[in-house]
Amino acid sequence: MASHTESGSLVFHTNQQIDEIYARLTKTFQSGVTRPLEYRRRQLLQLARMVQENHTAFEDALLADLNKPRIETTVSEVSHLVTSVLYTVENFEQWAQPDPCETKEAWRSGWGATLYKEPKGVALIISPWNYPLVLTMNPLIGAIAAGCPAVLKPSELVPTLTELLADLTSKYLDPNAYVVVKGGVPETSHMLELRWDHIFYTGNSRVGRLVATAAGRHLTPVTLELGGKSPAVITDDCDFDVAARRVLNGKIQNAGQLCVAPDYALVPRAKVDAFVQSLKKAHDEFWPEGDHPLTGSVPVSNIINPRHHARVVNLLNRTKGKVVLGGEIHKDKSISPTILTDVPEDDVLMEEENFAPFLPIIAVDDIDHAIRIINAQPIPLVIYVFSDQEGMKDKFLQRTRSGQLVFNDVMMQFCAHEMPFGGQGESGYGMWFGKTTFDTFTHFRGFINVPTAQEPFLMFRYRPYTNDKYEIACAPGRAKIPDA
């Protein structure tokens, strides 16, 4: 069966080739090749070398596909991945050790209750176009560390990066265990018909539902890393200049096409003008006189394609908000960072995640008003709060829900390798990052060994049932319950 191309730029795998890859990786897993810790260590180090030795090639690929500035690729994708791999190499052997389960009752203490860490099996990792390197390879780090072979399916919307990943993965990693599949919607749909041992999907909630439905047919566990409308809450006590600089910097990364970008800002009504002035000041710091976000020396990233660009322009045309900064459109490629005020709570920009370089500002009466707006939306991936007020953290922990809660910065949660990351509800489910990514691809297999010498003690469970046996069985249920 011949391969075919998408827009003449990327040669897709056929369904037959996908089936052959699936069979090959299944055979590899069943052979036990990926289980030894030394094998996993070698593959992890090879992954680190792959990223480090091809740093410039990855920058070139994302510049070609997204017009992403080199420093953004370096900070958020290349350097982050090298750090993540080395952190895992340093710790995964400890993570993989069996965990004895503490046993309090003496009669069970000799059973050796233990949790063993075993690889789930062959994994499928489906990643998006916006951060295609890190969102493909970060889950792979956990899969390798856990001993799982994996099929990687990057987005067809970044053909240069996908082709590069396919080429490098086959050279640096074991080709019988780790393979990049190139394809679009039909090829991905075919892969979802197969029985995987874990599926890790990053993308939007619409496709996430399709992935979860397909996985459900095989009862396959799934991690869904989705998105949502992540708010930035500005309180009147914060340093507006610092808050504005950090929010705007988070908003312009990859032209706002990032699941953890601040989607909108909630600002005290009396402080909106002051916050806008701080945003304009930050904008002028990022692009001094003579420079420009669309045509300057290092322009912002492109919107991924003309279709998405048209969607974003349509949002800008339909909003009732007032553009106070930006709003410039460059061909069908990019849009300047745009700040909007006087945005109603039911505005088109509040209907779903913008995934654009827009920051709508909604004026609020107080923190309670801000919390009501947040709670009226689906659960976001993250809530950003800029405040040093005593008790503000507890208020947001107790009265809101989100995947994560970050104070006084945006996106810096990705620097905390030790802290699990994940969504809730519409923003996804399942956790990952650092050890948690290892756990995601690991089956925790319980073990006990009940000595035959205990048979006389355990005779009460057998028929024929008697009153004496009944009294023995009832004893645990009669334990004293504390008053409070």
Which residues are catalytically annotated? 225, 259
The tokens 């039909």 sit on which residue? Answer: 186
- Cβ(161)–Cβ(132) under 8 Å? yes
| Count of CA atoms in the C-beta half-sphere (13 A) of 278 | 19
Contact by Cβ (8 Å): 115, 144:
no
The CA-based angle 323-309-299, given to 5 degrees, is 75
Joined together, the tokens standing for residue 9 give 């730029």
Nearby residues of 345 by Cβ (< 8 Å), 6 or more positions away:
362, 373, 376
Amino acid at 468: D
Count of residues for the chain? Answer: 484
Q: Which of 383, 313, 309 is nearest to 348 (CA)?
A: 313
CA 258 remoteness from chain centre: 10
